[in-house]
Amino acid sequence: MKDRVFTFFYMPMNFSTVMKRLHEKVRRAGAEIQDGLGLSDHTSKWNMDMYVAVDKEVPGAENTILNGRFLSKVYEGDFKETAKWCKDFETYAKEKNRTVKKWYMWYTTCPKCAKKYGKNYVAIIGQID
């Protein structure tokens, strides 16, 4: 993955409202969200931090650049399968003699869209040693 600027925010309960405000902040800054890429860092069972890929820094946002070595694998199914996918991904990394240092999830569709389209693809992206 090439270096990208990510604008970071904490995941609140009112996710949809916050995403709309974030999108507006990105637009006002003259920036664009790249490839619909939003990486979720699950910090606990009830919380996650989001990293949204943008084409330039967004004033007033916490901006960061993710770099390093990454391994990814795509899964398809219901969101409730996440724990199973994570276990599989850990095995996948071990088979490649890698250790996952940091986990990110890319949910390519929201639950409503997944229901509408009948498919739900989720990419696990692990920062590896």
List all residues 6 or more positions away from 95 whose beta carbon is below 8 Å from its beta carbon.
Answer: none
Return the SS3 of 38. strand
**What would the pLDDT profile of 57-71 be if each residue is shown by its tens digit?**
999 888 999 999 999
Which CATH topology does 4-66 take?
A: Alpha-Beta Plaits (3.30.70)
Nearest to 25 by CA among 80, 72, 65, 62: 62
Nearest to 124 by CA among 94, 87, 97: 87
**What would the pLDDT profile of 69-125 be if each residue is shown by its tens digit?**
999 999 998 888 888 999 999 999 999 999 999 999 998 887 788 888 888 899 999
Give the global pTM.
Answer: 0.79
